[in-house]
Every structure is written in C-alpha cells, then in structure tokens.
Structure 1
Amino acid sequence: MKKILTPLLAAAAAGLAGPALADEGEVLKHVFELQYAIDTFYFLVCGALVMWMAAGFSMLEAGLVRSKNTAEILTKNVALFSISCIMYLICGYAIMYGGGIFLSGIDGGEALVDEAFAAFGERESFDGDSVYSSASDFFFQVVFVATAMSIVSGAVAERMKLWAFLAFAIVMTGFIYPMEGSWTWGGEDVFGMFNLGDLGFSDFAGSGIVHMAGAAAALAGVMLLGARKGKYGPNGEVRAIPGANLPLATLGTLILWMGWFGFNGGSVLKLGDIASANSVAMVFLNTNTAAAGGAVAALILSKLMFGKADLTMLLNGALAGLVVITAEPSTPTPLLATVFGAAGGVLVVLSITFLDKLKIDDPVGAISVHGSCGLLGLLLVPVTNGDSTFSGQIIGAITIFTWVFVCSLIVWGALKAVMGIRVSEEEEYEGVDLTECGQEAYPEFVSK
C-alpha cells in the first residue's frame, strides 16, 4: 500500500491509536479524519473572522457619515449582510461553484468523509489538497460576497434610498458577483470563451474578485446618484463634509484589520499539514505588515500634501495596504509586503483627491480603497508569483471590472427609472435617519 504519511508520523499515529487500530488503513483513515476536522474548523473560524468585518464596515461607515445618517447606514449594513446570506444560499453559490440551488448539493457527516478518503486513497500524499466540509466552504464564501456588497454601502451613503439599495443588493449578491467569481475561483469559462486562470490570472483572496468588484458596483451607483448637496462649490472647489464620529471610524478600521486575518488566512484553504501551517503564518505576517506600511505611507503623504496628519487618510491607508496584499499574501517577503502596502497607502490618498476633482463623491473613500488599490494588488502579483502573468492580470482585471460595472449600471439605471434611487433634497437635508428609518441614532440630541 502506498505510503501517505511519513514513517515517523505513521508510527506515532499507530502508537497513539493502540491495538484496535493496528491496520494501516484504519490508522490512515483516522489521520485523514483528523486533518478533515482541523481544516473544517479552521475554515469556520476564519469565516467567523470575516463575518466580523461586517461590524467593521458598519462602524467605519457610521463614523464617517454625519450623525443624521447614522441609523440608516447601520440598517443598510445589517440588512445587506442578511440579504447576501440568503441570496448566496438560494442561487449565488450554485452559480459560482456549481451544484443545486438552496445548497441541495451540500452534505456532511461520516458518509462525506468516507467518500473524500476514498478519493484520496490512491494518492501519494494529502499535502497540498484541501479536505473540509462543503458546508464550511459555503459559510466561508458567503461572508466574502457580503464584503463586496458592504463596499457599495459606504460609497452611496447619505443620499440613496434604502430600499433601492437593498434591491440592488439582491441582484449583486445573487447574480453579478457569483458570475464573475465563477470565472475565477469557480474555474468556469467567461461566456464559454476562456477561463481567467488559464490566462495566467491569479487572485489569492480577492483584491479584484471581491474588492475591485465591489468598487465597480459602487462607482456605477455613484455616477448615477450624483454628489451630496454642498460637497462641491460652483467653481468646482471641494468642501469637506466631516464624519460625525472618528473614534467609531477608528474602531471600525481596527475591526476590519483583525477580520482580514481570516479573509487572507482562510484563503490558504487548509491548516492540517506543516506546509499549510507555514503558509498560513506567512499570510498572517504579510497581511499585518502590509496594513502597517499602508497606514504609515498615507500618514506621511497626508502631512506633505495637507500640512496635517489626517486621521481619515491614515485609516484608509491601512485598509489600502490590506486590499493590495490580498491579491497575493503568501509569496512576498515581509519587506516586500510592507512596500506593497505602502504603495497602496500612497495610491489611496492620491486616488481620493483625484476622484474629488472629478466630482465623484465617495463619503468613505471606498472606491479608492477597494477599486484603485484592488487593481494595484492584482498588478503586483507577478512580482512574486511566477504562476501569474502581467497580461493575465490585466485581462482578468478588465473582465471583472467591465462585467460588474456594466451590469451594475444597468441595474442602478432600472431602479432609478422604476422607483428612484435618490432621496429628495429636503429629505437629504433632514437626514435619511428620519426619512428612511423614522429614528435617529443619537436621540438624546433631539429637543422634546
């Protein structure tokens, strides 16, 4: 029988197993079950970390909008997460990875483990292969689609109708995102023509597939929505509209920073062997140092450009570094990861100021953080990953952006024609908390 484990590990496993498991096949079966359990548990924990990013987006956006729009932005974030979970369950996962709607192909239990073990029984080694519950895979993937939709929320804040936004969320999470995801992580062809992976495209954890896609959907919405009243003067001058709660925005950023360890770390897809454990450790290390590099670079550049240490730029710089390294956190050295993150920190400051000059109003800087820096992350992958090519990365980026932007523009346009997507000028002035939710986040400020 072919050896699946090293002699030392096999002997240890047999010794621990005792006489009842003296048969080598039984020993291997139990070791396989242990790896299956570890990888499944790791997937679930990382998924929970990514789910916690929903709290980060909520706090970040609530801190960067005005107090009169806080309750509505929180409502959007909880509702979009819930819609994402339901739509991905109904059809999104089936579109992206195959299988039946309502997760009809998802199973668990001993029969699934037996089937998986039989499939691996003829191989020399388990190393490099992911073995985990398909239900854990769904859970990990569904929090990714919610992340993509959360990006849209901040960009259209303070002037979009709540129900128009939620209607878009249904289409985005149930169809637009799963389709482009199927061409990348799902391995399907783009309209039967080509597969992005076969062209040398690589996106480890979703700089393009998740983040740039969310930014493309947001950009389409912002272009049809228009800027907030008072954001730009008659001569094109940019007027700052400060957020209501910067401590909350800072908390949100740190929550996102923490959740990103699950976002990138979970994308290794396994933990149950030495090589994978080392890869996970490197991914965690590079994720952290890229965020630090982005934060410091953005802080320095904001001081040089504006004469002050801008906290919002510092926060967006950290997020920019995280987005950049998401495309490939496993192959750079820690030094290169820091440099890549710093490049993202510089780019996000320049992108935010550039979009303001174009009168593209993004209250939280989401399009710059996730779009501009998502593209940068994709373009940096071939620097350290020899399996990718610059041409493949460019084709992949164009394909993802074009698909999501065009589809989103169509959906936003249809919603604008049918129900309208922007609140009235009076409602915007009063704040969408009252007009959309009928309550304020800070009622103690309301005179009785």
Structure 2
Amino acid sequence: MSTSSAADPVALLQDLIRINTVNPPGNEIACVQYVVDRLSHRDDLDIKILGPTPDRASLIVRFPGRGIAPPLLLHGHSDVVPVTGQEWLHPPFDGKLVDGEIWGRGSTDMKGGLAMMLTSLARLHEAGERPPGDVVLAMVADEEHGSLAGARWLVREHPELFAGIRYAIGEEGGAGIELGGRRFHPIVVAEKRACWYRVTLRGPGGHASRLAPPGTPMEQLGRLLTALSGVRLPRHQGPAAYRMLTELSAELPPPLRDAVLAVRDDTDDRHPAGLPMAQALQIDSLLRNTVNPTVVRTSDKINVVPAEITVDLDGRILPGDHTREEFLSELHALIGPELSAELSMELLVEGLQVAQERIEEPEFGGFYETLAGITRKADPGAVPLPMMSPASTDAGFFAQLGIRCYGWLPMKVPAGSEYRTLLHSANERIPVEALEFGTDCLTALLREYR
C-alpha cells in the first residue's frame, strides 16, 4: 500500500484500484478495511462498518462540522464490474500511472470519485478547517449488481444514520455529453431506475441431427430478439429532460441548437435527426423507457436442440410516476401477444419496488446553484448542465429518505475525449488533471455549502 499523504488523490486511487472488488462476488470489505486504516489517526470520526454479510460491507463515516448547516451526504460505491473478455493495454488492477493517466477498473466508476471525496475531506482537515455541517461519507457495496447488499439495505435497515441530511452528492452515472465542441459539466438531477427481467423460453428439444419441430425455444429466441432490436418504446418527456434540452440548446450553434429543440418539441416522436449518433441515442433514451437483451443462456452442447433458453433483459424506467406495470405493458405490446403468451418473465431487480417509492421532481434551488457556481468558477470555459441520466445509481435509494440527490463529480477533460465512454469498458482510465479538478471542486463545496 501507498505511504503517501492522505491528501493525495492519485496514490489513493491507485491503491483502491489494486483492491479487486469485482462484483460478483464484491468482497467490498477489503476496501472498507483499507479506508478505515487510513482514517485510524483521527479520533474525531464516527466510523461504522455495516452490511448483510461480513464480506459485503459498507462504510459510514461522519466527519464533524461546525454546526451551521445540515449534514451533507457524500456517497459512492466500492464495487466494480468485471473485466472478463476485455483486452486492456495495461493490467486492469495494477493502477498504473501512464502519461498522466491512471489506468484501471474503477478509475472513473467510481473509485476515482471516492478518491476525490476522501481527499477533499483530508485537505480540509489538514488545513485545520471544518465544513459548515457534518459530512457523512457512505462508501457502499453492491451498486453494480442492484444495491441489494448496499444502499438499498442501508436505507431500509439503518435510516437513522442519514437523519437530518438534506442534500447528497454521488456519481453522475456516465451522464456526460459532448456536442458542438463545448465542454459540459453534468449535474445529474434525475435518473432512470433499473428494472431487470429474466425471460424463459420453453418448447420441444431433442437431438440436433434431426429436423427441429416448430416452436422450439431457439425459434422463440429469434422472434424475441428481432422484436427487441432497433425499436423504441413510447415517448414520455418529463420536466427534467425538458429543462436539460432547453439549456443544452442555448449553448449550441444554430444547426445543433435546432436539432436539440426539434427533439424537445417533437410531437410526432420521430428519430432524432441532425445529431451525432451517440448523442442522438443518449438523448432519445431520456425520453422513453428502454429495454435491451443482454445475456442468453442455454445448453453448451452443439448436438442438442435446447428445450429451455433464458434471456436477461436490462430495462430502465423513467423517473416520476412511471411504473413497472406501464413498462411491462409497453414491453408486451412490442413483443406481441402470441410470443408474450409463450414466455415467462421473472423480475430480477427493480430499483424502487413499491408505488410510493418515487424520486421527487428535481430541485433547482440554492444548493444546485452552488454546484453550478463552483463549476463555472473552476472552469470558466465550460458549461454546467442539468442532466438526466439514462442509468441508475444509489441516489434513488437515498432519495427515499427525503434527501435531494445530485450526481456531481466534475472532471475537466478535453471536449471530444473518450474518458466518459469507458465506464464498464476496457482501458478505463482517468487523467490526473481530471482527478485533481474534481477534488478541488469537492473541497470548495465542503467549504461553501449551506
């Protein structure tokens, strides 16, 4: 482990990357123990290690403030996604510093964010300062696999740890956008929630040397994948998406500005035109529920016609009043009644599971303006942008406690760079400059928030 200063985000991130917390299985307790060791020199902290099992632990640390503001929550997850099947230029768990970039799984999602948070708190302490109010740092488990052992468990089993907190800062969920050569700093004010299903297809199987009978699971699979490929569920534009598109269009030159406004005001629900493909798909995903087949499981024998196939579907439901029942109705309409009757569906994960669990509409008050102001001051040539994220994070669970959650971990990277697109991909990395920039912004927030 590194012996560097507690206020050095680079060495801290390198150490965190070297702790393998691929989920599954997670083993987040290793990260927890490492951070607790780094904090052991301080006797003013309230430290709690909690989890449904010893190896799936989350860390809750309360840093004392001056008592002139409510507590503030900083939350981030210590688990990371697998690297199986990916080809990396540098080993994904070595945390190498190469040409001013820190390479490794979790460098941006989101051990880099945890390094920013921990370092900003350390810098305040080293300067002899305290934040306006207590700061609760939640380093949680299991975000990458539905949060069952992490934020969801904490909110339901230990809500008292978050009493009195009004605002929270967490990850942006890869919600950055690049258009018109401008640098935008996302401030996520709304996000979708996960709704994952396992579809089971059953039918006649047998020896693959013979002609297959009608209605095999393979035949059903072909029909299912065809129905779900290159199609869109119905449009539902909410207030968060409307404001995002309005503010985005105001910062763009005329051709792109007109294209974004056309998407915002399109009552005919046409495919977005006049935008680069990546941005068109991202924006379109914010205007509707989405579903993608991601995992197919069946026999591994080439000479067997399988009698059963399962397909995992990654569904994402819009925030607000949109329900799982609405999503299922749209999905079955897409699949068609005949195929829908032949398959069975098992709910694997839903981000929020009961009707009353809804994230409130975004709040654009003083705290949001503080985030935007810090961003403008730190990077005058860029634009802070209220964003809705097509992904889901732990913010949805903390919001159930009445906490206003914002995804805000600013990174100063060149317009058009690929860093934000590398989440869950090979060669994930973060520039040292971006890590320092985010740490400086968070340190400013810890001094200024009210």
TM-score, normalization by structure 1: 0.26
Higher strand share: 2
TM-score, normalization by structure 2: 0.26
Higher helix share: 1
